[in-house]
Structure 1
Amino acid sequence: MSVDDTDGASRAKSSSRVAPSFGAFVRKPAQPRVAEADTTASDASESGDAAQAWPEDAVEVGAIVDAYGLKGWVKIAAHANAGQGGDALVHTKRWWLVKGQDRKSAVVKQAKVHADHVVAQLAGVTDRDAALALRGTAVSVRRADFPALGADEFYWVDLVGLDVVNEAGIALGRVADLIDNGAHAVLRVEYPSVGKDGQPASGERLIPFVGVYVKTVDQAAKRIIVDWEADY
């Protein structure tokens, strides 16, 4: 089983071998792959729509950090590695943009992975100056627009908040976020504790998201079952 964070994602794929801007979706496939494709929004409006209702399932997956070229393209730093988690940015036809108090949607005419960023052409952004004006804009996409996953693959955003229990039924806490240590994802599980001063505090468990430890991910029950003792 493997954990596969839009940008920011993050997709996580649990494997028997050893992504709020929370690294939203990070894909960890068995074989590395780079998503690079153009998207055409022929069925969408040709301009950003500030009046469009903000979707309830919007997930922040990256931020516009610079202009790219002279024709209005923008460069996006994905919260997850662009070559792994950038596919939600690449394949969605509409982004949701926030800069300060300004919130609006934007049609994506083309998008692709370029080196360690995603670059995109947005409708209505036709020159470098307009692209530079978007620097610092947070980019969200609808969770419903994330690419479909394979068997035993999960987006980080779907794992955050799940309860974690061990095989003996002992509650270990709740997933606060995930960490990518390079080899695999790690669940950061928080649980109520007591500090040295006797006051309520939050404890932390770090559980590798690999098949030897993670036995079941039941999203319907909002629970992850692990082979992990409470005193580890």
Structure 2
Amino acid sequence: MNAPDAGQRMTPERMIPMGRLHGAFGVRGEVKLESYADPQRAIARYLPWTLRDARGNERLCEGAKVREGGKGLIATLPGIEDRDAADALRGTEILVPRSALPPPAPGEYYWVDLEGLRVANLEGADFGVVSHLFDNGANLVLVARGERERMIPFVQPDFVRGVDFDAGLVTVDWDAEF
């Protein structure tokens, strides 16, 4: 996935992934739902959703209902009434407008807002832009892509010294040779 350009980075109507559908649950058209919200059930606060299938086709989904199942979340979607229709949604992304999310707390960031920011170390070496972040279980990792890819632990203030949205810059304490 390419990092967005600076014009896309903070655009309020930018659509961001909030979850994914994982196929049928039962025979009545319910679907298994993976939520990226915290807590997971909070995904229901961001209705309506935009559903994007593997081909990139999008459609608006209003009136979805979410409940907790034994092993995760289950969703009921309007117009999906049987197992075959639910299973056809396997892999479908759930998107919401970035503007639907509440403001992050001071010192916290939405990963999507960091994507596309330039990354430089304390000496001014340019590491490229934030491609994405991921959680390796121990901590978050910022992936910067420039002349090469660098993976930098997103640990403040040890490695990530500052995030300046106005300047479009993440400053890191990281050796340019590493």
Q: TM-score, normalised by structure 2?
A: 0.77
- Counterpart of 2:121 (choices 157, 166, 171) is 166
> Which structure 2 segments of 5+ residues have no match?
4-11
Whether the 8 Å CA contact 1:88–1:147 is kept in 2: the answer is: no
The equivalent residue for 1:231 is 177
In the alignment, structure 1 residue 185 sits paired with structure 2 residue 140? yes
The equivalent residue for 2:154 is 209
Q: Distance in 2 between matches of 1:178 and 1:101?
A: 23
Q: How much has 1:88 moved relative to structure 2?
A: 5.8
Q: How much has 1:185 moved relative to structure 2?
A: 0.5
- Counterpart of 1:138 (choices 69, 76, 93) is 93
The equivalent residue for 2:52 is 98
Q: Distance in 2 between matches of 1:109 and 1:61?
A: 14
- Counterpart of 1:125 (choices 68, 75, 80) is 80
3-state secondary structure, aligned to 2:99: helix
Q: Distance in 2 between matches of 1:218 and 1:139?
A: 29
Trace 1:25-174 onto structure 2 (pairs within 5 A).
Answer: 56-78=13-35, 80=36, 84=38, 86=40, 89-99=43-53, 100=55, 102-112=57-67, 114=69, 117-174=72-129
Residue type of the alignment partner of 1:217:
V
Q: Distance in 2 between matches of 1:114 and 1:221?
A: 44
How much is the aligned-residue C-alpha RMSD, in angstroms?
Answer: 2.9
Q: TM-score, normalised by structure 1?
A: 0.61
The equivalent residue for 2:8 is none
Q: How much has 1:220 moved relative to structure 2?
A: 2.5
Residue type of the alignment partner of 1:96:
T
Q: How much has 1:96 moved relative to structure 2?
A: 0.9
Q: How much has 1:101 moved relative to structure 2?
A: 6.1
Q: Distance in 2 between matches of 1:109 and 1:93?
A: 7
Whether the 8 Å CA contact 2:13–2:99 is kept in 1: the answer is: no
> Which structure 1 segments of 5+ residues have no match?
1-19, 23-54, 193-202
Q: How many residues align?
A: 168
Q: Which moved more, 1:151-160 or 1:122-131?
A: 122-131
3-state secondary structure, aligned to 2:109: strand
Residue type of the alignment partner of 2:51:
L
Q: How much has 1:104 moved relative to structure 2?
A: 0.9
Residue type of the alignment partner of 2:47:
K
